[in-house]
Structure 1
Amino acid sequence: MSQPHIAILDDEPEIRRMLSEALTEAGFRTTAYARATEFEAALKRMAPDVCLVDLGLPDRDGLALVHRLALESGAAIIIISGRGQVQDRVTGLELGADDYIIKPFDPAEVVARVRARLRKGRSDPGPAAQTASFNGWTAHFDRYVLVSDAGEEVTFSHAEGEVLRLFLESPKRLISRAQMQEALGGAAGESFDRAMDVRISRLRTKLGEDPKNPRLIKTIYGAGYIFLGDVRWE
């Protein structure tokens, strides 16, 4: 099995060195970039498994880059930033990041978060189960696209896809927050709960749900969520 490839984008040389050393020692293959332009050029030639992205870049808006990666890349995205305000974290997650680590950090934590994202990726069904149909929609997990019966296409991010897949694999069954945390990884707590709220809200919007009375993704207050659709995997 080939080594998972981790792409690092940070304009601080010491951060790049520290992350590269920690991840290489943990058995990963790494490439590091100081500028978004060279990182984006490299993405045309490579397909990393995880992207570690700093938001404070000298040549590109970091959040805009995260959003583009979420829409166009199959890689998991972990933001590493000195911006520690709750709103910064929420915005990053809303734009498609899978996780958010605040500077300063312990390299061991980054390694653990990367491993968690990769474990989740390996637990997904194989290529034969990349398409699911439900209630007038077809989800293409290989292309990160939802297609309606009318042919309308709506893209979803890697992070949103993880939550959608979880629901589609367990339709009409209560999924608690604890079960979501175990399945999707990440540290339990307010930050994880907020991330799930954001992703579920965005999925409801993309599925045309009434936020006050959703038909498919129901909130069971104090217990979790339940997906009420009829699902067929192909």
Structure 2
Amino acid sequence: MASIRVADEPAFVLHSIPYKETSLILDVFTRQYGRMALIAKGAKRPHSVLRPVLQRFQPLLVSWSGKSELRTLTKSEWVGGTPSLVGDALLCGFYLNELLVKFLAREDDYEKLYDHYTDTISALSNLEFQSKGLEEILRPFELTLLQETGYAAALDYCVETHSAPVSQEQYVYQPERGVRPLQVDDPGHWPVLSGKSLLAIAAGDFSDQETLSESKQLMRFLLGLHLQDQVLTTRQILIDLKKI
């Protein structure tokens, strides 16, 4: 296999672990190549040019080379323009990164999801100037993640009527099928949503409080369904703090 060289690819660091005495192994999310494993040689040295740059939640341009699954980072440049995350926003950032690590296979491109992640990090970094709360920022990202990875069916389509949900009707989200009309014998743990909420969620409109509440129920159900026994540490902290 020939060695591959990639230059100046937009990326974010999702996670890093120490490697030997002076290096790091990075889990990065790139726009065109998806999740990549990169070794940053010498990045732990006190005077390394990489050390101050390889920060989470900051947009980067990275270059790498190699032919194995673990490529070698050759350059990393900070793009700038994004204030550091603090407080609840920082917790939410770690939550987003945990979701990406759990849901995304390596080296599958998710350009739409990458762009949405970029926008979400920007919204969190400017949280004090936003009219939206944490839930209104996080719900659209969760939905995009689930849809782009194939874990969520269309919400504006009823699988039994083959048409859009009716605003005044009640529906359930049935695993493996999607949205269908509510029935009296449906399992109690299936999410129940109004047609109005389903249409709003599908359109990315979380401004209505009922929609926001029902979307929380739906996202928790879908994420739990596919994470199974995997625990996301920051997600549980945020749930316990009633932040999401």
Same fold (TM over 0.5): no
Which has a greater percent of helix?
1
Normalising to structure 2: TM-score of the pair? Answer: 0.29
